[in-house]
Structure 1
Amino acid sequence: MSAEEEKRPLLRVVRGEPDDVELAALTAVITALASQQAPAPERETRSLWADRASLLRRPHHPGPGAWRASAHRF
C-alpha cells in the first residue's frame, strides 16, 4: 500500500449529510456484509476407514492374561 492509499477514507458520503448515528449504522451494516462474504473454510472430516491411527499398536500392560490380550486387536 502506498502512503496515499493509507490516508484515503474507507467510506465516503456522496450525497446528504448523515449524523453520527446514521454513519455508525452504515458502518455496522457494511462490516456485517463483508464478514459474511468470506466464510471460514470447513474442516474435512476423515472417515474411520481412512484413519491411520488404527494401524498403531496399543501398549501392552503386564498382568494376568496379558499374553492373550497381545494377540487381540481392540
Structure 2
Amino acid sequence: MIKVLRGNPTPEELAAALAVVQARAAAVAAVAPGPERTDQWADPAATVPGRRLPHPGPRAWRTSYWPR
C-alpha cells in the first residue's frame, strides 16, 4: 500500500511513481540469488586434490583457518 504523506499528486503522477516502484521490485526479484548452501561438509569442491594444506608442526593450527 502506498500512502501520500505530503502534497496532492495527480493521478498521472501517482501512476508514474507506482510504475517506478513496481519496475524496481521486479528487477530486484529477477536478480535475487537463490538460498545459500550452508552445508559445507558435503561440498564436493572440498575433496579436490591439490589444495594447500597446513604442514604438520607445532604451529600448524594457526594456518588451519586460512582460506583454501
Q: Do these two structures clear the TM 0.5 threshold for a shared fold by scoring above it?
A: no
Which structure: larger Rg? 1
- The higher relative CO (CA closer than 8 Å, separation ≥ 6) is in 2
